[in-house]
Amino acid sequence: MEPLKQAKNFRGPEGPVVLAILDGVGIGTCKEGDIVSRANTPTLDWLSQNALASKLKAHGTAVGMPSDADMGNSEIGHNAIGCGRVFAQGAKLVNESIASRTLFNGEVWKELIQNVVGHDSKLHFIGLFSDGNVHSHINHLEALLKEAKNEGVKKACVHILLDGRDVSPTSALEYVNRLENFLSELKKDSDIDFAIASGGGRMKITMDRYGANWGMVERGWKTHVKGEGRQFVSAHEAIQTLRAENPGVIDQDLPPFVIGRDNQPLGPIDENDSVIFFNFRGDRAIEISMAFEEEEFNKFHRGPKLNVKFAGMMQYDGDALIPKKYLVNPPGIDRTVAEYLVKAGVKQLAISETQKFGHVTYFFNGNRSGKFDDALEDYIEIPSDVVPFEQRPWMKAAEITDRVVGAIEGGEYKFIRLNYANGDMVGHTGIPQAVEIAVETVDLCLGRLVKAVKAARGILIVSADHGNSDDMYECNMKTGEIIYDEKTGEPKSRTAHSLNPVFVYVYEPTGKVNLRLAEHTDLGISSLAATCLRLLGFEPPEDYTPSIIDVG
């Protein structure tokens, strides 16, 4: 790759350029549900008046999703911010691979199907069960099931991870009913045995990330693989019963369950079975993939490695090769901001707590594990607390800020990127009071960054990867009116990401740098990459999304 060119009219600030990503903090369009505007945010309010201010798209085609009806997420958001361009992302890649039949003509699909047909064994599908299009899509699952039948598979087991996070909080039965109807149609005039075999909430089993809570993965292993746990005759019965026993619980927090016949689990994973983890997003798919694939495994008592054929929808970690087999090739992302800066000799720091650590490192670097240069990059992970986010909405924002302020004052780094996870992780709980505290916590910490950047004569960029806490109530898409729960009379909570734009503030405290907003309009968050490079004194690559600012 060609090295960056120094800008002729600006060599960068005296202090560092600091990129603060306020995860899940967007610009709300529905006043009642916009907790960001409700919260006390003196720092954001001050920046809106004293910094260059604009807004950016953070969803849909602006971040590589199939359509503008698709919400953004932290994975593709950090991809876009870190690589400066828009790549076709997971959902779109899978859609195209299914439509073109590239997936079904691929060697991995054929190997898994031939294994099942040859051994008269079971084909298993594990994944997030909704149409949220953030980690997975039920359309993909149905397409795989239909093709499996066409290719001679007789027994398939679906292990459902209930969402309630990227879709409505208590919508699980809608998807169960849809799949049950789909399977009934599929089984007409056929002797196939396709059924739901186990399940549980996505925040209870299987879908941990960044090694934050391996106990979740262990519970998922016992549920899906061993068929251990409380049995029900159907997923419908399981969900209704568990909801009645846990008043107020939302889908993501429902306990695990096993579907049984004659007191025997319907679909444990046995030798010579094939298993597909049908999530396309990587962060919450890596750990369960490791449990299936690693010869020596010590994260929990798994037992000997199963002799099964395992594949992911995509490869979730390209450097660590997890998993080894996958159905759809991920986007090839190269020439990221971090790589360019390493080539230019710029010392960098990336920091967040565990929940978003992989986002400011792995995803920011184009789905690449590890550093480009150990001497020029430092990564700091602040361990997240293993408690419900609504019980500790401040999370680790203060600890992150302590380290960043120290780094700014130390003068070692020219580029610092950080992620405050609060607005997103607490936003997913659907509890407005906790979300308000989360947003105010981030704003308080942001105030400390403003002071530190000013003292160091650096430049601060504040933006987000997508919205969430700005849209906490369900509303009528046509009228904008809040939808109320018929039983409680309270607004129906929304736990998914929003389709709202995000703000961007560029604060240069000295007043000696001639910064102005560029004439480009309708930009997305991929423009933050060129913005960072320009503020560091470089000319961005020509194919990067244009910078939001001009200098000089």
Residue-level pLDDT at 30: 87
State the first-to-last Cα distance of the chain, in angstroms, to the nearest integer: 27
* 514 inside domain: yes
**The pLDDT of residue 189 is above 70:** yes
**The pLDDT of residue 369 is above 70:** yes
Return the CATH number at 37.
3.40.720.10
Instruction: Give pTM, 2 decimals.
Output: 0.78
Q: How many domains, the chain?
A: 2
Q: Are 438 and 423 in contact (CB under 8 A)?
A: yes
β-bridge partners, 475:
482
Does residue 121 have an active-site annotation? no
Which residues, 6 or more positions from 145, have their beta carbon under 8 angstroms from its beta carbon?
125, 156, 158, 182, 183, 186, 194
Percent of the chain with pLDDT over 90: 84
Given 289, 305, 328, the domain boundary residue is: 328
239 and 337 belong to one structural domain: no
3-state secondary structure of 438: helix
* 12 inside domain: no
* 64 inside domain: yes
Residue with tokens 């953070």: 58
User: What DSSP character marks residue 550?
Assistant: E
434 and 475 belong to one structural domain: yes
**The pLDDT of residue 330 is above 80:** no
Nearest to 197 by CA among 173, 215, 180: 180
Expressed as residue numbers, the domain containing 190 is: 91-328
**The pLDDT of residue 488 is above 90:** no
Q: What is the DSSP string of 100-133?
A: TTHHHHSHHHHHHHHHHHHHT--EEEEEEESS-S
* 10 inside domain: no
Element containing residue 232 per DSSP (H, E)? strand 231-232
423 and 530 belong to one structural domain: yes
Residue-level pLDDT at 332: 82
Residue 319: band (very low, low, confident or very high) from pLDDT cuts 50, 70, 90 = low
* 9 inside domain: no
Asked whether the CA dihedral 285, 288, 294, 299 is positive or negative, the reply is: positive
Q: Are 23 and 74 in contact (CB under 8 A)?
A: yes
Residue 492: band (very low, low, confident or very high) from pLDDT cuts 50, 70, 90 = confident
Given 308, 328, 348, the domain boundary residue is: 328
Q: How far apart, in whole angstroms, are the C-alpha atoms of residue 355 and residue 397?
A: 12
**The pLDDT of residue 476 is above 80:** no
Given 303, 328, 353, the domain boundary residue is: 328
* 487 inside domain: yes
78 and 105 belong to one structural domain: no
User: What is the per-residue pLDDT across 417-453, written as a single tens digit (0 to 9) for each?
Assistant: 999 999 999 999 999 999 999 999 999 999 999 999 9
Report the 10 Å Cβ neighbour count for 105.
Answer: 10
Return the CATH number at 129.
3.40.1450.10
**The pLDDT of residue 222 is above 70:** yes
Of 54, 74, 97, 289, the catalytic one is 74
* 1 inside domain: no
Q: Are 269 and 187 in contact (CB under 8 A)?
A: no
Residue-level pLDDT at 496: 83
| Helical packing angle, 235-245 and 172-187, nearest 10° | 170
Higher pLDDT, 56 or 488: 56
**The pLDDT of residue 317 is above 90:** no
Percent of the chain with pLDDT over 70: 99
Report the 10 Å Cβ neighbour count for 72.
Answer: 31
Residue-level pLDDT at 124: 98
Q: Are 278 and 125 in contact (CB under 8 A)?
A: yes
Report the 10 Å Cβ neighbour count for 392.
Answer: 16
Q: Determine the residue type at 218.
A: E
Helical ranges in 194-335 per DSSP H? 214-220, 235-245, 286-293
35 and 181 belong to one structural domain: no
